[in-house]
Each structure stands twice: as structure tokens, then as C-alpha cells.
Amino acid sequence: MRLTPAQLDIIRTTAAEQFGNSAHVWLFGSRIDDTKRGGDIDLYIEPEEADLDKLVDAKLHFLMRLHQALGDQKIDVVIRPKQATDELPIYQIAKSTGVALA
């Protein structure tokens, strides 16, 4: 995994602050492959919250805080509330190939 323990801790803590302690977070994509270089930070989050307005606000604050803490990095965030019934391929890929962080 190409993130430091400190970076992972920042992601976990910030996700809990913005999405709640029960939110599940996965890192997926090129950053989990030690043989690759560069790449953005791809995060998949399953929060308890289902209100779309609250989730949009939480996502914006989450990204803002991560950029402040981690610096200028490209960060992609995919959010799917735990109660959602839709099953897009990106959700399955993130969970099956990703690494659970929280």
C-alpha cells in the first residue's frame, strides 16, 4: 500500500469526523499496488447517513480537510449509504479489490 501510516490515520479520523464512527472506508485503485507509481487516492465510503444533502456536505468537508492535511493530491471519493439498494459495479470493485481502513 502506497500510503504512510500517518496518512491512513488522517483518512480514518477524518472519515469518522465527517461520516460518523460507524462509516466503513476502503482504499482501492492504484494506491494499494506497491509496484505502481503515482496515482490518485481512491476511497470508497459506506456511511450510516442516508440524507443526500448531508452526504454532499460531509463529502465536501471530508475532501477539504484531507487536502489541508495531506497536501495537493488528487482524491476520489465514492459514497454509498449502507441502506442503499443500488449495486453499481464501482461499489463491488472497491469492496472486493480494496483494503478496508475503517
**Res 2: pLDDT:** 84
Model confidence pLDDT, tens digit, residues 29-48: 988 987 787 789 999 999 99
**Res 4: pLDDT:** 92
**Res 60: pLDDT:** 97
Structural domains in the chain, CATH included, are 5-100 (3.30.460.10)
The pLDDT of 10-23, averaged and rounded, is 96
Q: Give one DSSP letter per residue of the chain, joined into a string.
A: --S-HHHHHHHHHHHHHHH-TT-EEEEESGGG-TT-----EEEEEE-S---HHHHHHHHHHHHHHHHHHH-S--EEEEE--TT-----HHHHHHHHHSEE--
**Res 14: pLDDT:** 97
Please give the share of the chain, as a percent, with pLDDT higher than 90.
76
Strands 24-28 and 41-46: antiparallel
The mean predicted confidence, pLDDT, of the chain is: 93
Model confidence pLDDT, tens digit, residues 71-92: 988 999 999 988 888 889 999 9
